[in-house]
Amino acid sequence: MTSNDLFPTERLADSDVRVLLLENIHADGAEFLRGKGYQVETQDGALGEDDLIEAIKGVHLLGIRSTTYITEKVLDAANDLLAIGAFCIGTNQIDLAAATSRGVAVFNAPYSNTRSVVELAIAEIISLARRLHEKSTDMHNGVWNKSAAGSHEVRGRTLGIIGYGNIGSQLSVVAEALGFKVVFFDIDDKLALGNARRCSTIEELLETSDVVTLHVDGRPGNAGLFGREQFEMMKPRSLFLNLSRGILVDTVALRELIESGHIAGAAVDVFPIEPKRQGDPFESDLRGLKNVILTPHVGGSTEEAQQDIGRFVASKLRSYAAYGGTSLSVNMPEINLPADASKHRLAHVHRNAPGVLATINGLLGEHGVNIEAQSLSTRGEIGYVLTDVAKGVAPEVLSALAALPETVRLRELT
């Protein structure tokens, strides 16, 4: 079976678009898509492979979170699927290569929980500086310890941010508003926001910071980024936070340096091994330490973030289904051609081979179709071209485009 048999050229009215949203996605997502006239079905839980293979037939847009696995077998059964919305940050649960080779676009919400992580980091820095967690635990144990010893204001202190991406840079702005001096280190050239100062080495940052916080990504090579050597380079009685990736940090070294008093406190939200299911036991070298705040990977988990994810991913699915827009797609070449209701739009996903654009345009020219706007982008083995033409393209033109050997998928839009 060729990909053309799997995905015939289709022109869908909004009322024919079928959407399946699994895993209790925020209601705003369903509401947005229903507002566009789509038929939306929602289910609270995830589906296993066999159930999903049944459920996905006839579905055009699928929404999942992190526990529904989109395997090649599922995609083989998804004969009408246009796009998958991962209403979360990660997309490891999706066989992206299989989706791409079938012309199925995948979208996620990489920025929806940035603010939530930043707010938790700020809350934890102040809590650690004032030893709130320790004092509250004492009180619950019936101990009244009214003392200023070891409690500090954060005003005028230096915050060292390692990884100045979405989260690190937003934290920089909020921390300055609280009176922090901010320094940062990033392996890429990053614009320093506000009065933040860039450090040229991680060592320079460690030697100057009263609080060190990690916000790097999980690229290969970052595992073990922070070990004994880095902790020892930190200022005596400084604070440490990791809300980014568990694999970055040597937790045995962190424990020892907290016990020795070199590190005055720590907040950790991510762990090298995390329990898989709610209620599974949690093991860590960091359990039972004073002035250490442990949280179960909830840095980005707020109702606001969930709502934002619901709206953001739903709007990406809509934009792709209706106009072919792929901006911020995880797997497809990115194109965002402005929609023009007076035109007819052809969305063509093809294998990225020399001469495909020339062939498409030659074919359109032969049939007297004038191109009014066009945008092409490629990514790895896939090419994607949106072409706006005058309304009323003859069916034989579409058949000829669909029959090109490089065609993965052709859609008529608007």
Ligand X SMILES: NC(=O)c1ccc[n+]([C@@H]2O[C@H](COP(=O)([O-])OP(=O)(O)OC[C@H]3O[C@@H](n4cnc5c(N)ncnc54)[C@H](O)[C@@H]3O)[C@@H](O)[C@H]2O)c1
- Cα 206 to its chain centre, rounded Å, is 29
Binding ligand X (rule: CB under 6 A), the pick from 94, 105, 216, 389 is: 216
SS3 content of the chain, % helix, strand, coil (to 5): 35, 20, 45
Q: Which C-beta is closer to ligand X: that of 239 or that of 243?
A: 243
Q: Which C-beta is closer to ligand X: that of 171 or that of 360?
A: 171
Rule CB under 6 A: say whether 265 interacts with ligand X.
Answer: no
Q: Which C-beta is closer to ligand X: that of 158 or that of 359?
A: 158
Binding ligand X (rule: CB under 6 A), the pick from 182, 183, 225, 389 is: 225
Q: Which C-beta is closer to ligand X: that of 217 or that of 340?
A: 217
- Do 295 and 120 meet the contact criterion of CB atoms below 8 Å apart? yes
Q: Which of 297, 311, 351, 379 is catalytic?
A: 297
Nearest to 71 by CA among 87, 46, 89, 53: 53
Q: Which C-beta is closer to ligand X: that of 216 or that of 263?
A: 216
Determine whether 26 is an active site residue.
no
Separation between Cα atoms, residue 347 and residue 103, nearest integer Å? 11
Separation between Cα atoms, residue 372 and residue 375, nearest integer Å? 11
Rule CB under 6 A: say whether 250 interacts with ligand X.
Answer: no
- Cα 397 to its chain centre, rounded Å, is 38
Q: How near is the Cβ of 196 to ligand X at its closest, in Å?
A: 13
Rule CB under 6 A: say whether 198 interacts with ligand X.
Answer: no
Rule CB under 6 A: say whether 218 interacts with ligand X.
Answer: yes
φ/ψ of 168, rounded to 5, equals -55, -45
Rule CB under 6 A: say whether 305 interacts with ligand X.
Answer: no
CA angle 319, 170, 334 (to 5 degrees): 25
x/- mask, ligand X, residues 72-111, rule CB under 6 A, reads: -----------------x----------------------
User: Tokens 């100045």, residue?
Assistant: 164
**Whole-number CA gyration radius for the chain:** 26
Separation between Cα atoms, residue 316 and residue 131, nearest integer Å? 43
Q: Which residues bind to ligand X, rule: CB under 6 A?
A: 89, 113, 117, 162-168, 185-188, 215-219, 222, 225, 243-245, 269-270, 297, 299-300
Active site residues: 245, 274, 297
